[in-house]
Structure 1
Amino acid sequence: MIAYRMAGPDDAALLAALSSRAFIETFGHLYYAADLAAFLVTLGEATWAAQLADPTLAIRLAEDDGAPAGFAKLGPPAAPFTPRGASAELRQLYVLAPWHGTGLADTLMAWTIDAARERGATDLYLSVFIDNPRARRFYERHGFERVGSYTFMVGEQADEDDVMRLVL
């Protein structure tokens, strides 16, 4: 049974392990080991502890019988793009492979959209790697449209991410 809850200060280690595992499952094969290792530092426990202490961020966890399965992180726009009006950004939505296709991502997206509206946002932004067609289709199915792009660094490797927006 999948349960959802807001992440708290004690979840830094859990989120570090969960986000690292999800990133490696999805993208690990694309990078040299040194680039991947450099990026995974940004998903470390200290980073998560700081984010969990940041009142502008909200992180919703999904757990299946107590095992972490995914999460969504919402906050003010931070990616290098210029938002219009009152906006929020889905900073991460990660679901581990065993839970792909279960509806878990849809539930996390519904929470994200509701939480963005509760914050007064009229637009919700996100970025997605251009070579992640599964995620792109998911976001498009939820009404997001491409509005730009930017360079996302993984170690020394530069990737292109699309910026997508959902009008709330």
Structure 2
Amino acid sequence: MAGPEDAATVAALGRRSFTETFGHLYKPEDLAAFLANHSEERWRQELADPAFAVRLVEAADEAIAYAKLGPPSLPFEPRGPSIELRQFYVLAPWHGSGLARELMTWVIGEAKARGADDLYLSVFIDNHRARRFYARYGFEYVGDYHFMVGSHADVDHVMRLPLSRAHAG
């Protein structure tokens, strides 16, 4: 698990992975406003907070992926004890390598270990690759959510995975 000493690494990876995947969709000022959320200080605070769990993956001394679990923050009414997959990023050169599957195994195991009955996430409606990935695990559509990137609102799908029937994709 990542700790406060990993804040600079995770912050840089978050900015890089978001820009790599979605940067072309936004005006520069909207992207810059969003990326400001990936500050080293903000990450240091979350990495020190036991309510969050972050798994950082490195290869050849380079950070290549991470997943972050935290308390529910999406606009939904949880059915019971719940946790949210706040971020799940794998750099493009590692897509299709099996790394995402390994990371999701950790996410589901950690969510269960923390006593959650349901795992929630939001995914951009036009991120078809991610939507297919989550569907393989049994995530169900709950509703729509407006994900803000600066002043630009994207439509995301909020999805829920009942952990009692979670399986390895």
Kindly state the Cα deviation for residue 80 of structure 1 after the two structures are TM-superposed: 1.9
Instruction: Give the aligned residue type for 1:35.
Output: D
Aligned amino acid, residue 73 of structure 1: K
* Mapped partners of 1:55, 1:129: distance in 2: 27
- Partner in structure 1 of residue 71 of structure 2: 76
Deviations 1:87-133 (A, max 9, x none): 11111100001111111111111100001111111111100011110
Letter in 2 for 1:18: L
Distance 1:38 1:87 in 2: 29
What TM-score comes out, normalization by structure 2 length? Answer: 0.94
Task: Read off the aligned partner of 1:27 and give its amino acid letter.
Answer: F
Deviation of the 1:47 alpha carbon: 1.2
Q: Deviations over 1:11-68 (max 9, x none)?
A: 1100111000000010000000000000000011111111111110000011112211
**Mapped partners of 2:155, 2:77: distance in 1:** 17
Structure 1 counterpart of 2:96, one-letter code? G
Partner SS for 1:42: helix
Instruction: Name which of 76, 94, 99 aligns with 1:99.
Output: 94
Q: Distance in 2 between matches of 1:50 and 1:99?
A: 28
Length-normalised TM-score, structure 1: 0.95
- Separation of aligned partners in 1, 2:48 and 2:86: 16
Distance 2:40 2:71 in 1: 21
Which of 2, 9, 12 is equivalent to 1:14? 9
Q: Quote the Cα distance in structure 2 between the aligned partners of 1:103 and 1:51.
A: 27
Which of 40, 47, 50 is the matching residue for 1:52? 47
Counterpart for residue 159 of structure 1: 154
Match of 1:33 in 2: 28
Matched residue count: 163
Per the TM alignment, residue 79 of structure 1 is displaced from its structure 2 partner at its CA by 1.6
1:117 to 108, 112, 116: 112
Deviation, 1:149, is 1.2
Q: Which residue of 1 aligns with 2:131?
A: 136
User: Which amino acid in structure 2 is aligned with residue 21 of structure 1?
Assistant: R
Distance (Å, rounded) in 2 between the aligned partners of 1:156 and 1:32:
10
Which ranges of structure 1 fall in alignment gaps of 5 or more residues?
Answer: 1-5
Letter in 2 for 1:132: N
